[in-house]
Chain A
Amino acid sequence: MRLRRTGRVPSDARVRHYDELDERTQAVVPELADRPRTALESADLEDGDVVKFTDCSLIRTR
């Protein structure tokens, strides 16, 4: 999976706060934020989920 920054949160998106994520996903999110990297799938995040991590939200894409 990848994460990219998003300014606008789609109204039908599932929004997750960083503190809701499981420990493995919490470790991966900072690695992917601001970097065009991919990581192994996380059962905790689905495509299109928005993660509130810093002042800029991240959206999960493939």
Chain B
Amino acid sequence: MSDSYVIVGDGIAGASAAETLREEAPDAEITVITEEGESLYNRILIKEFAKGKLPEAPISIHDESWYDDHDVDLRLNTLVVDVDVENDAIRTHEGETIEYDSLLLAIGGTPQQLPVGNADAEGIHHFWTFQDARKIKESVEDADRGVIVGAGLLGIDFAAICGAQDVEAKYLMRGDSWWRYALSNEGAEIMHEAMRERGVEPVFDSGVDHFEVDDDGHVVAAVDPNGERYECDFAGVAIGLDFNTEILEDTPIETDDGVIVDEYMRTNVDNVFAAGDITEFHDTVLGERAQNGAWGSAKEQGTIAAHNMIDHGSEPFKWVSSYSITHFDFPFLSFGHPTLGDDSVEATTDEGEWRRVALKDGRVVGGVLIGDLSPQSAFKQLMREKRDVSGQKELLMEPGFAVDDLAASTEH
């Protein structure tokens, strides 16, 4: 009898696991279940569609024939509502039971709503799926004024969409700068200036107290906690994700924010694995538990999970994640865990070029590069090698920094 693998989620983590399983286990039964109405597409390009810069076609990655060609049973529009680990089965919203030998949870997260009045009004958008992107595009094309909330990596996508679609927008931030947990004011100011050039005005020490709506229930304004009122016919909210763990509530599968897995992507239940945004994994690079929210990491976790579903312990996840912003005329890259650490070093290395490296116990744990991405490989190497850079951190700020510039004795 061949093994049967069930994968919940057809995002990049689930899909890359399906690909790897098919390659490594040609006779296995593979089922991929997704709540969405379409098969794998490029989630990190849907913003370009919403900006009006890309048509739909290049965003698809696996069309439905891919699943037939690879003998993968794809179930679209199917929500898994329950996992029964005692009987090795999942249950769908239609009451169907599907048994597995090995299960992969690649179920990601769902954007949070603001806990304020009228947060679900017409014209207020959250951004995760292609369907969201289609609605955002339609709404923003008709809009004149926008409000954006959420001073992080997803919020800035809304800013870029408003900019590209000629919507004058106010970007309401709670603190005094964009992504203040990873950047200092100096680095953030480069991003603020880029937003302003596109007609998006950052508003600091603000946020949303409530939204106002018209008689049809459509948003007309956001009112901030200072009582300032910002008229808008479009609003984009990106304040964080809730991880989709509710289907695991009555199971022994260990969860915290996400699903807890080891470096082999296995949960505390032997034949249940998880991959992608949903995991809180043992990060062998950081030496502690971590969570990533990036495409490359989710893809790699899917592949690693598949290898270990076939042969547990065969391949650990060892990866330095990165995430870039491609909206402006300069590049931006964050890598590792730029919001962690007990120390940091930063510098402006040239006009419009800025970098910051976060350190913990003398080791690089993450950072942000603006304008000049050339040291990215060196910084990732330092992370993987767990190099102690104590006493030499200023060298990391040298424009042409290379790993060999560090004193050799620091190698671990």
Q: Which residues of B are in contact with A by a Cβ distance under 8 Å?
A: 42, 44-45, 48, 53-55, 57-59, 294-296, 299, 322-324, 326-331, 372-374, 376-377, 380
Contact = CB atoms under 8 A, between A and B. Distances in A.
B377 A54 contact: no
Contact of A15 (B45, B329, B331): B45
Interface string A11-45: 11111011110010011001100000000000000
B237 to A, nearest CB: 23
Contact of B54 (A15, A18, A55): A15
Contacts of B54: 9, 15
B326 A52 contact: yes
Majority SS at the chain A contact face:
mixed
A54 B329 contact: yes
A53 B326 contact: yes
Given A18-B324, A19-B296, A19-B323, A53 B380 contact: no
Contacts of B327: 54-55
A19 B294 contact: yes
Given A15-B54, A19-B296, A52-B48, 14 more contacts: A9-B54, A14-B58, A15-B42, A18-B326, A19-B44, A19-B294, A19-B324, A20-B42, A27-B376, A30-B373, A31-B374, A53-B326, A54-B328, A55-B329
Contact of A53 (B322, B331, B374, B377): B331
A55 to B, nearest CB: 5
A11 B264 CA distance: 39
Contacts of A1: none
Nearest to B326: A52
A12 B59 CA distance: 11
Contacts of A31: 374
